[in-house]
Structures are given as structure tokens and as C-alpha cells.
Amino acid sequence: MTSSAMSTRRRLVAVLIVVALILAGFVARLVDIQVVRAESLVADSLEKMGGSSTIYAPRGNIVDANGAVLASSIAQFEITTSPKDVKAFDRKDGKKTVKISTQQAIADIAGVLEVDPATLQAKIDDALAKNKDAAYALLAEKVSYDQFAKIRAMNIPWLYIRQTFGRVYPNGAVAGNIVGFVGADNQGQAGMELSAEQCLEGTDGRQQFQQSKDRVPLPGTTETVTEAKPGGTLQLTLDKDLNWTLQQLVASQVADTKAEYGIAMVTEVKTGKIRAIAEAPSVDPGNVDGTPAEFRGSRAFQVPFEPGSIFKPLTAAMLVDAGLADHNSQVVAPYRYHPKNGASIKDALPHEDERLTLSGVLQQSSNTGLSILGEKMPDDQRYEYLKKFGIGQSTDIKFPGQSSGVLHPVDKWDNQTKYVTMFGQGLSTTAVQMAQIYQGIANDGVMKPLELVEGCSYPDGTVTDAPAKTDGERILSASAAKETIGMMETVVTDGFLADQLRMPGYRVAAKSGTGEQFVDGQLQTTFVASMAGMFPADDPQYVVTVHLKSPLTYRSSAAAAPLFKEIVAQVIKKYGIPPSTTTPPGWKGTY
């Protein structure tokens, strides 16, 4: 073999070896990719191509006792853009391709949203001014479905739309101060929207998908990882229609008397369920900014006041329950009374000495007469009664910002406080507390915890937050409670407001009050005018309480009397309460 042939063969072998080595390298690489690292490489690839998004859970409804919706969620949309990608684009128009400028696209979006195009352009420009590579700018939120559909049909590549949920209140301001409202994040800010957040808030879900290099989800690749769970339905004890009626009546009386605000409540005696809480001014949860900040909460729960003479039935009830007096106990009531401890008590208007029974003391609302009779009970004993009535303690209802009122310890009472607390001064309560106290008297002396919530129900049938079953707490003997109601009934039949309070065919028991007001220790010239009572007096079914802050055209408890009577009439009509078939006790007020 020639040397030339030998050289050619060696070169061929060398080439084959090189090719074999290359092929071996390829095989090794292929095995590494397809076998050894296949799983991790696929995962990395999916991670780079994959995307995820939130499935928003709707907030639960708030409904009244009959299921009428007071608050609910609706689908809304949020529109964002990637500012760095905002540019002209091509759009198919039939068989033609049309160039759409950024100015035209922004004008089209603004037209649907009913805003100035310059507003949208400014949001994009502001984002780019902060970061020339800005990939996010919020253009609009709380966009309706109709608007969403129109904008989606524009096929603008640099717009991103995601679904959210908004809050609507189909009955406007009806029970608005109780229902409350949510913030921009759809979280509760006031009222039951806040206190029942755990019930109402849903649990968001999650979905995954694969996407193209420009981050557009690929059809058919979306997979739900976690299902969204809607919030629960919160059912209140309120009756929407009754609440609406009361709000109209309260608003009218506030206007007529030029009062600062008004509160009215209807409470079911046997159950403690609150059927209406009407406040004026009231807040529309769908337009919170339309109401001054001081009226956006519930004054029924949050604002304490000195109740004045609607407190006198409590003192009378204590005396009767303790066996220290009865409806016929007699007293000579002067216009001014100066107890031995140096206190000074007087009645609202000058008068000669009056020979009154305890019934007459309530009829004439005599501070001096009640003070003289009230001296029979030691301060410590009366203080214990006040605590049993719930004075100085918030109710069991979970309401944000609820006030407990003020009851100073008995060892902190000065000489004047020892007397004025008998007729509703020197302490403070809320409207809700007064409703609870009158419920206790009306219910044969058994105070039931007031109820505002029936419960929270979920789609799977689970019910939470239902009030605990309880027999209530006895605060008075049944006989003392009945005698107190009988004395209050004489206020309606023979008291100084009898002409404004009598209800032909119905037995009503009530007491008026004008609570003095102090600001920074200074006595004000205005007061809180109140009426509180129960009916039918022979078997009470409902308690009605009314409070007007600082009425100016009627400067006495007479400001609240017409409103009380109108509400009683509405409740009788609403619940079909039949006329009374028994006669009032007819106890005398004088001797």
C-alpha cells in the first residue's frame, strides 16, 4: 500500500472518530434534556409561559327580616394598561386593516367611560414620567358590564380588563346608618358592613393559564386552582318597609321642630328583636359623600345623652319592686325641694305645692315629688338596680363604636347626683339602651338581650352568628313591672300630654322626657326631647322610643309626642294589632 493511500485512510478514520464523538455529544445532550432534566426544564418552561389571576369572590348580601336585599354585590371591572406599550395598532374592519392611533383609542375609551380623554392620557403620561418602562397604570375602576363589553369589543392590545365586585344598596338610605357602607377596597367601613365583615367577606380563588410571549392567555389552557367562595348572607331583624316609614316620619318631625337630628326605634317585646331603627339625617351607603361625616354612623348606638324624665318610670319601678312604694303612695311635691344634704331640686315650671300619688308624679313629671319618694331607697340599692337595667354597659349587639353610656360609681356621687339620677340626669344612655330598658319593663320585668342579627347563612346551608337562645334576665318582679306600666298608662290618659297621646281603642303606656345637655360642664339651653312607651298596655307587644336632639320650635317633650303617636299607629297597622278589650286602671294622680 502506498504511503498516499495510508495517509487517506488515517484521515478517514480520524473524521469518523470526530463524527462519532460529535454524535455521542448530541446523544448525551438529548438524554440530558429529554430524560435527566426533562421535568425541571418543562416546569421552567411552563413557569415562563404560565400566568395566574385572581377569581374574585362576591361579598355577601345584607337582607332584612323578610329577605329584602339591603346590600348586595354586582360584577364590575377594572381597566389597566401598560403605558410603555401604548402605541398605534392595526384593527381588522371587515376585509380591511385600519390603523388606530393612540389618540383615537384613548378617545374611544373615554367616550364609553364618559370622562375627558385628557384624564386618561394624563394617567399614562404620569406613569411614564416616573418610569419610562412603566408596565402598569390604572385607567378606570368600578366599570359597569355594559361599559366593559363595549371596551372589550374595541380589541385594544394594550388594555387589560379584570373583573371585580362592587357594592350596591337598592333601597338607598333605608336603614343606611345601620347597614353601613364599604370603602374603595370593598371592605366594611361602618355599620353592619364593618361589624359583620367575617360573615360578608368572600374568599378569593385562583386560576392558572399559559400565555403567549406578549402575555395573552392561550385559549383552552385556563385551569381553576382554587374555587372562589362567596361571602355569607347577613339577615337583620329589621323590617325594610317599617324602617322606611319611620325614616319619613322622623325626617318630617326633625324638619318641623328644627331639631339637630332624630332617632326612633321599634322593638318586639317578647323577643327583643329590633324591627326598626330610623335616624334623620340618614346616610345613603351608595352615596356616602352626600352626608356630613357626623351623620354617617348610627347615633342610636354611638351617641349617649342624659335621658331626662323617660328615666322616671325606672325609679318608680325600683321603689315598687323593693316594696318601698306603690302607685298610690302619697307625696306633697313643692316647686323647689332642698334635701338635708344641701342639694337643690326643682320642677320644670313654678307651681304651688301639689298633693300627688306616685302615679301623679309620673303624670306631672315632678322632679321634687320623685326625689322625696326616692329617698326611701338607699343609694347603694338604687345603684344596683341601675346596673341591672344595663346603665353604663353596652348592649350585646355587636355594633362598631357602640357607647356604653355613663354611670359613675355610687361612691363618686355628689349630693346633687344622689337625686338627679332618679330622673335621668347625672348619667347617660344611648337610644338602644333605653329601648332595652323599656323592653324589660314591658316583658313582665324580664330583660331580653336586644337582637339586630338573625344570623349569617352560607351557600352550603351553614348558619353562624345566630343569637343564643336565652330566657333573659329578670330585672323586676312581674307585679312591679305591671304596676309600672299601669302608672305609665295614666300618663297617656291623664297626663299633661294626654290630648296628644291618646289612641282611641288602644291602651298605650308612655312617658315623656326633656333631657338637659351639658357641654364642657356648661348647661345648654337646648335639650333632648324624648317619648318612650309600650302597647297594648294590658299585654305589651311593642316598645316605641323617640328622641329629638335640640328641637327649636317646640321647647318641651311635646316635640316628640306627635312622632311617638304616629309610629304607634303605623306599628298597629303593620302588625294588625287588634283594639284593646280591657279598661285602664284609672289610678288617681292626686289625693
pLDDT band at residue 580 under the 50/70/90 scheme: very high
What digits encode the pLDDT tens for the residues 139-157?
998 899 899 999 999 989 9
CA 480/CA 246 separation, integer angstroms = 31
Q: 10 Å Cβ neighbour count for 557?
A: 29
In which residue are the cell numbers 438524554 written?
Answer: 31
Q: 10 Å Cβ neighbour count for 335?
A: 17
CB 284 within 8 A of CB 290: yes
For a pLDDT cut of 90, what percent of the chain falls above it? 74
Output the 3-class SS for 206-257: EEEEEECCCCCECCCCCEEEECCECCCEEEECCCHHHHHHHHHHHHHHHHHH
Residue 47: pLDDT over 60: no
SS3 for 264?
strand
- Confidence (pLDDT) at 30: 72
> Any idea what the Cα angle at residue 402 is, between residues 401 and 408, rounded to 5°?
120
- Confidence (pLDDT) at 209: 64
Q: What does the radius of gyration of the chain's CA atoms come to, in whole angstroms?
A: 37
Higher local confidence (pLDDT), 67 or 496: 67
CA 551/CA 255 separation, integer angstroms = 9
pLDDT band at residue 38 under the 50/70/90 scheme: low
Higher local confidence (pLDDT), 217 or 296: 296
- Confidence (pLDDT) at 367: 97
Poorest-confidence range of 209-213, 300-304, 458-462? Answer: 209-213
Over residues 532-549, mean pLDDT: 97
Over residues 96-106, mean pLDDT: 92
For a pLDDT cut of 70, what percent of the chain falls above it? 92
C-alpha cell at 313: 318610670
Q: Which value, to the nearest 10 degrees, does the dihedral of the CA atoms of residues 522, 525, 526, 528 take?
A: 60
pTM metric for this prediction: 0.83
Closest CA to 309 of 526, 488, 519: 488
CA 581/CA 578 separation, integer angstroms = 9
Asked whether residue 262 is assigned to any structural domain, the reply reads yes
C-alpha cell at 12: 478517514
- Confidence (pLDDT) at 42: 54
Over residues 543-559, mean pLDDT: 91
Asked whether residue 218 is assigned to any structural domain, the reply reads no
Asked whether residue 1 is assigned to any structural domain, the reply reads no
Higher local confidence (pLDDT), 555 or 344: 344
Which H helix or E strand runs over 475? none
What digits encode the pLDDT tens for the residues 394-431?
999 999 999 999 999 999 999 999 999 999 999 999 99
- Confidence (pLDDT) at 128: 94
- Confidence (pLDDT) at 29: 74
Residue 496: pLDDT over 70: yes
Which H helix or E strand runs over 271? none
Helices 367-374 and 312-321, packing angle to 10 deg: 30
Residue 118: pLDDT over 90: yes
pLDDT band at residue 62 under the 50/70/90 scheme: very high
Residue 215: pLDDT over 60: no
Asked whether residue 264 is assigned to any structural domain, the reply reads yes
Asked whether residue 227 is assigned to any structural domain, the reply reads no
pLDDT band at residue 212 under the 50/70/90 scheme: low
Asked whether residue 588 is assigned to any structural domain, the reply reads no
Please name the residues in contact with 351: beta carbons below 8 A apart, sequence gap of 6 or more.
335
Residue 524: pLDDT over 80: no
- Confidence (pLDDT) at 523: 72
What digits encode the pLDDT tens for the residues 351-398?
999 999 999 999 999 999 999 999 999 999 999 999 999 999 999 999
C-alpha cell at 202: 368572600
Asked whether residue 344 is assigned to any structural domain, the reply reads yes
Omega prior to 536 cis, within 30 of 0: yes
Range of the domain at 500: 240-575
In which residue are the cell numbers 364609553 written?
Answer: 112
pLDDT band at residue 495 under the 50/70/90 scheme: very high
CA distances to 1, 105, 139, 169, 256 from 77, rounded to whole Å, are 87, 19, 11, 18, 44
Helix boundaries (H) for 258-364: 299-302, 312-321, 358-364
CATH number of the domain residue 286 falls in:
3.40.710.10
Asked whether residue 377 is assigned to any structural domain, the reply reads yes
pLDDT band at residue 588 under the 50/70/90 scheme: very high
In which residue are the cell numbers 308624679 written?
Answer: 361
Sign of CA pseudo-dihedral 461, 467, 471, 477: negative
Count of domains in the chain?
1
Higher local confidence (pLDDT), 343 or 33: 343
